[in-house]
Amino acid sequence: MAEQELKFPVRCALRIIYDGDDEAVLHSAQAVLEEYLMPEKWTPGRTSAGGRYRTLGVMVTMPDRAALEAVPKRLAAIPGVRMVL
């Protein structure tokens, strides 16, 4: 099956799973979006049953392939972030 080519800009959803007690993650994640000139704001999601993990979600417009590849890597590098989906 042939790979479908993405046409930029493209809208996509991002979700972060992070340590539930680390409030600095939200500020750091917002700074990454602002660095790439994305005005969207993160929305708090669910908290794990034990309260150990939380999620943040956002819909963003990726302007090009470079941003599509770089933004998730930058988010994953934030201390306290366990996973970027």
pLDDT in tens, 9-29: 999 999 999 998 888 999 999
Q: What is the pTM of this model?
A: 0.90
CATH code linked to domain 10-84: 3.30.70.260
pLDDT in tens, 51-85: 999 999 999 999 999 999 999 999 999 999 999 99
Domain-wise residue ranges, the chain? 10-84
CA distances (Å), 22 to each of 4, 26, 28, 63, 67, in order?
A: 38, 8, 11, 30, 26
